């Protein structure tokens, strides 16, 4: 007969491995940026505190080993990625998405030295504290409804503009962590 005995240190190790903090950082994290009267940022777990590191200039996902799983860009409901689930991004290399809104540019990227991690950088004139909460705790809104500003450009890795600002651009990426 085989008996397993847990020591205090092994029980503590099991608790640490299964802790909610560790589990919260795993899985898929959808991040959506869209316009529709104001710029809206929806990042799963934004207010959880366990998922994101927050400064006034950037949000950085706390699990730096995650990778881009999918990326979609639509304008007026039309797929601007031509059916490619990663919008022509090689997820094994560093990637950058720039979203132009009025005079501001919001940048979503992996770590500069690799294809891993995700960081949302805010421009100087639209720092994170200027984004107001919505009824959804994972959303922040920049601008006022009806201020006339729209997303006028979305580029992936410095490529062509995938959103001309005609009617509601939506950028959704899914970041997945091991």
User: Model confidence over 4-36: pLDDT tens digits?
Assistant: 344 444 333 333 344 344 344 469 999 999 987
Maximum average pLDDT range among 38-42, 47-51, 93-97: 93-97
* Contact of 105 with 99, CB cutoff 8 Å: yes
- The answer as to whether 11 is a domain residue is no
- The answer as to whether 94 is a domain residue is yes
Containing domain of residue 101, as a range?
A: 27-177
pLDDT higher than threshold 50 for residue 145: yes
Total number of domains constituting the chain: 1
- Tally of residues, the chain: 178
The whole-angstrom separation of Cα 125 and Cα 57 is 10
pLDDT of residue 18: 41
pLDDT of residue 12: 36
- The answer as to whether 17 is a domain residue is no
Q: List the one residue out of 100, 25, 107, 97 whose CA is nearest residue 68.
A: 97
Neighbours of 98 (CB within 10 A): 18
Statement: the pTM of the whole predicted model exceeds 0.85: no
Q: List the one residue out of 134, 177, 157 whose CA is nearest residue 28.
A: 177
Least confident of 8-12, 52-56, 101-105, 126-130: 8-12
* Contact of 126 with 104, CB cutoff 8 Å: yes
- The answer as to whether 47 is a domain residue is yes
- The answer as to whether 15 is a domain residue is no
Average pLDDT, rounded, for the chain: 83
Tokens 């410095």 belong to residue: 158
- The answer as to whether 156 is a domain residue is yes
Q: What is the pLDDT of residues 65-117, one digit of tens each?
A: 999 999 999 998 899 999 999 999 998 999 999 999 878 899 999 998 889 99
- The answer as to whether 6 is a domain residue is no
pLDDT higher than threshold 70 for residue 131: yes
pLDDT higher than threshold 80 for residue 142: yes
- The answer as to whether 1 is a domain residue is no
């Amino acid at each position: 007969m085989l008996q397993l005995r847990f020591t205090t240190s092994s029980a503590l190790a099991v608790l640490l491995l299964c802790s909610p903090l560790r589990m919260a950082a795993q899985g898929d994290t959808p991040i959506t940026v869209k316009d529709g009267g104001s710029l809206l940022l929806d990042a799963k777990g934004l207010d959880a505190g366990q998922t994101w590191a927050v400064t006034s200039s950037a949000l950085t996902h706390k699990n730096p080993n995650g990778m881009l799983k999918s990326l979609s860009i639509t304008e007026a409901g039309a797929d601007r990625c031509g059916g490619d689930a990663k919008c022509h991004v090689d997820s094994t290399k560093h990637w950058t998405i720039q979203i132009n809104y009025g005079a501001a540019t919001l940048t979503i990227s992996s770590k500069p030295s690799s294809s891993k991690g995700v960081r949302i950088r805010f421009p100087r004139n639209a720092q994170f504290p200027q984004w107001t909460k919505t009824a959804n705790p994972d959303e922040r809104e920049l601008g006022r409804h009806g201020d006339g500003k729209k997303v006028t450009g979305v580029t992936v890795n410095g490529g062509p503009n995938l959103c001309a600002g005609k009617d509601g651009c939506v950028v959704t990426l899914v970041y997945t962590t091991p």
